[in-house]
Structure 1
């Protein structure tokens, strides 16, 4: 509870936490908006494929022009300014940098950035959860071997869910379920960048004003991002996942403790201790009042009558039995909250969520019939969406992870709704991302095969 005090101390001592940011898009811009207001940190450099676009975003969020005029990283260190350039390797390899914030949203590139940061003994806050979803357990292992911290990004829902789960377990509560909210109807899995804004609830004008990427936002709408984020939560907390994909039970905040119970007790869960996503829409499309669409939640259980009575005495909203209680945070502020992760890894040496095992996976699944010769375009695109599955199921079927389904050629016919396997595509086997994923399978898959 004292991160801000520690940051103030670093500011007073003149030794701020030195940060390198890779990727200055929407998420990165939200973090940039907070840096001038945070003591004890110095953003030494930004690496972006388009430095001009990064400068535009800096101006958009209110940075003064003189703060980004450093001609080099060394000059930025001397003056307290920020260098903006294209060379991510120079940024990661600079000896003065303490923490790398990976914010590109490109899972293939993110793995390169993370591995190089570990090699250079840098902590990493990985905003690109798409990479964590397909090889996070091995990234975490490699970071630990290098003596640095690898972390999910606070402000993004997975880290906030991990925080709630940690709160519950630290208090002594068994976690029955945890997850996030989402606007969901089954046909959204077929959504494309052309249909996203109407279904998402924004006008094209609002999207343009915010500089929003339709493919990225479609990855939320079509279920890919909820699956990706649920995978990260499962692998970080040990909570299990549904056997055949997320169920998206509709519920208001008030109804979450009703639905997030085992089926045997009137809920939707296969068992206690699971990840799930709550829909903000009824099955017929009606909007649910007081929804959890933009928030996170955890449902815990009172194991004794005394604890159950405490719930009642303090007016905690529970299910009818009085045993299941849900704590929630109705909003998350995305990049505006990343500073918590940066401070935590740099000042405490603690991640705000990190994979501890391989429990879940996201498998690329066809949005329509796919023919040999077609190119997959990854999450949020026109060809595939991501289905959450137990890791054991993915291993048994040779599932193609969604994070590697970018610019990949289909070599066999795939029916709509069918999950793809390695054998269905011609994959580039030379990337660090592919090799890291395959190495993770070799390292972690034996217990998964037994589970299957």
Structure 2
């Protein structure tokens, strides 16, 4: 992206890119911390269920009082989008049910939307992205989050003429983590509940990172944006460091662990016995590429690429991501270039609510990161065939049937209000893209 000079011109002309932020939590606060040092960018309004907390967040990330006084703080996101005082909406609530409603209203109002809310994007992003393209506005992934960064690497590889063998991210994973709950999560992070509370850390959110749900959501988002294939039976989470990516993430027939080429996968920073992986990619993203010809493979060797034993497979990676500190890239790409930093194109992957333990009929599911279910990545076709309940709709719904540990929860297993707008949008997406 080459937009900085245009930003300076916008600043000089007093015509900044105007942003409306929905949700001033951790991601939103990280974005807000960059605003005072970005010329030509203005946050016009912040919608949060606790407007006073949003105002406090601005002060805590270093905003001067005169800048805070220029912002409209509200608890009504829908009204904020109708003011005509914003160009780009950033949806950062993390709530898939309200996220779909906010995104659709943003599109209806003719506003670009940056969807930090990957939960909502996986639930029905294919439909919303299509509606945005029809309306002539941008529906974008959030740069700084791992899905957008991975999509950028896939785009780079394909545009250079390489075959993409695998793409994804790293995380900390052991099979036992799927059963983790908000009551046990801090043991895995080496914290006490009191230490986590003092740091303002949300147990259910951090548990989603640990139990595999967030990884499944992010890989589904990448698959839906790039057309890469999810594994047939869920993510494998193979242990692999930066130097091992090209060896591990190649097809089984060639000595790797993938079912085939062109897949999404997450690598673990832990060996299965708990030992740390050498040069792990826990905070990063990667793409594994295949040389299209012997000449390109020779160039891999000549320029020091880390290849597998054949020399044909190699990997590019980014060891870190800065989350909300990088979000400006998406906002400016949408407002100044009219292009997304990754966007859903189809329905390739879905994330199914899966029982963490034996669940009794009449129990109420507590959704992503909770104590009852975790999210398992499935190919969208397989998810629809088994009528899997999306993890994004598995919060606050009552079971009608007993569910065994490890079993996927289906639509038939729950009492759900089909008139809820998010449910209707999801059903519409299934009909359109299923």
For Structure 1 versus Structure 2, the TM-score category normalised by the shorter chain is: over 0.9
Query: 2 CA distance for matches of 1:204 and 1:5?
Result: 47
Query: How much does 1:10 deviate?
Result: 1.4
Query: 2 CA distance for matches of 1:188 and 1:253?
Result: 23
> Would you say 1:24 and 2:13 are equivalent positions?
no
Summarize the Cα distance change of 1:272–1:196 in structure 2 as closer, same or farther, 3 Å threshold.
same
Query: How much does 1:94 deviate?
Result: 1.3
Query: 1 CA distance for matches of 2:208 and 2:6?
Result: 37
Structure 2 counterpart SS, 1:434: helix
Corresponding residue for residue 364 of structure 1:
353
Structure 1 counterpart SS, 2:243: helix
Contact 1:176 1:300 in 2 (8 A): yes
Query: How much does 1:89 deviate?
Result: 1.5
Q: Which residues in structure 2 correspond to 1:73-112 (within 5 Å)?
A: 81-112=70-101
Contact 2:357 2:406 in 1 (8 A): yes
Structure 2 counterpart SS, 1:343: helix
Structure 2 counterpart SS, 1:254: coil
Contact 2:74 2:80 in 1 (8 A): no
Contact 2:219 2:264 in 1 (8 A): yes
Q: Which moved more, 1:54-63 or 1:96-105?
A: 54-63
**1:62-85 Cα shifts (integer Å, max 9, x gaps):** 11233223xxxxxxxxxxx21112
Corresponding residue for residue 432 of structure 2:
443
Contact 1:250 1:279 in 2 (8 A): yes
Contact 1:26 1:211 in 2 (8 A): no
Q: Which residues in structure 2 correspond to 1:39-188 (within 5 Å)?
A: 39-69=39-69, 81-188=70-177
Query: How much does 1:213 deviate?
Result: 1.1
Contact 1:301 1:325 in 2 (8 A): yes
**1:122-158 Cα shifts (integer Å, max 9, x gaps):** 0000101001111110110111122111001000000
Contact 1:19 1:98 in 2 (8 A): yes
Structure 2 counterpart SS, 1:34: helix
**1:206-263 Cα shifts (integer Å, max 9, x gaps):** 5345422111111010000000000000000000010000000001111111100000
Query: How much does 1:203 deviate?
Result: 5.1
Query: 2 CA distance for matches of 1:54 and 1:236?
Result: 31
Corresponding residue for residue 410 of structure 2:
421
Query: 2 CA distance for matches of 1:32 and 1:247?
Result: 36
Contact 1:200 1:221 in 2 (8 A): no
> Would you say 1:376 and 2:365 are equivalent positions?
yes
Structure 2 counterpart SS, 1:253: coil
Query: 2 CA distance for matches of 1:57 and 1:202?
Result: 24
Structure 1 counterpart SS, 2:238: coil
Corresponding residue for residue 34 of structure 1:
34
Corresponding residue for residue 14 of structure 1:
14
**1:310-336 Cα shifts (integer Å, max 9, x gaps):** 011111111111111100000001111
Contact 1:156 1:332 in 2 (8 A): yes
Contact 2:50 2:75 in 1 (8 A): yes
Query: How much does 1:184 deviate?
Result: 0.3
| Runs of 4+, deviation exceeding 6 Å | none
Contact 2:161 2:292 in 1 (8 A): no
Gaps of 5+ in 2: none
TM-score scaled by structure 1?
0.94
Contact 1:68 1:84 in 2 (8 A): no
Query: 1 CA distance for matches of 2:121 and 2:217?
Result: 8
Query: How much does 1:56 deviate?
Result: 2.1
Gaps of 5+ in 1: 70-80, 446-452
TM-score scaled by structure 2?
0.98
> Would you say 1:288 and 2:288 are equivalent positions?
no
